Chains A and B, each alone.
Chain A
Amino acid sequence: DQQVKQNSPSLSVQEGRISILNCDYTNSMFDYFLWYKKYPAEGPTFLISISSIKDKNEDGRFTVFLNKSAKHLSLHIVPSQPGDSAVYFCAASGGGGSNYKLTFGKGTLLTVNP
Chain B
Amino acid sequence: DVKVTQSSRYLVKRTGEKVFLECVQDMDHENMFWYRQDPGLGLRLIYFSYDVKMKEKGDIPEGYSVSREKKERFSLILESASTNQTSMYLCASRKPRGGSYEQYFGPGTRLTVT
Residue A42 contacts which of B48, B58, B99, B108 (CB distance < 8 angstroms)? B108
Q: Which residues of B contact A105 (CB under 8 A)?
A: 42
Q: Which chain B residue lies CB-closest to A9?
A: B40
Within the complex, the shortest CB–CB distance from B56 to chain A, in Å, comes to: 7
Q: Which of B50, B90, B94, B101 has the most chain A CB atoms inside 10 A of its CB?
A: B101
B40 touches A46 (CB 8 A): no
Q: Which residues of B contact A91 (CB under 8 A)?
A: 43
Q: In the complex, A47 Cα to B50 Cα: how many Å?
A: 23
Q: Which residues of A contact B102 (CB under 8 A)?
A: 34, 46, 49
A70 on the B face (CB < 8 A): no
Q: Which residues of A contact B101 (CB under 8 A)?
A: 32, 34, 49, 93, 99, 102
Residue B110 contacts which of A32, A41, A49, A51 (CB distance < 8 angstroms)? A41
B104 on the A face (CB < 8 A): yes
Q: In the complex, A92 Cα to B92 Cα: how many Å?
A: 15
Q: In the complex, A107 Cα to B45 Cα: how many Å?
A: 15
Within the complex, the shortest CB–CB distance from A39 to chain B, in Å, comes to: 10
Within the complex, the shortest CB–CB distance from A20 to chain B, in Å, comes to: 19
Known: A93-B101, A102-B103. A44 touches B90 (CB 8 A): yes
Q: In the complex, A10 Cα to B110 Cα: how many Å?
A: 23
Q: In the complex, A107 Cα to B90 Cα: how many Å?
A: 15
Known: A34-B101, A42-B108. A101 touches B43 (CB 8 A): no
A76 on the B face (CB < 8 A): no
Q: In the complex, A32 Cα to B100 Cα: how many Å?
A: 8
Known: A100-B31, A100-B50. A43 touches B42 (CB 8 A): no
A residues in contact (CB < 8 Å) with B: 6, 9, 32, 34, 36, 41-46, 49, 51, 89, 91, 93, 98-102, 104-107
Q: Which 9 A-B pairs have the closest CB atoms?
A: A43-B105, A106-B42, A93-B101, A104-B43, A104-B42, A32-B101, A44-B105, A43-B107, A43-B108
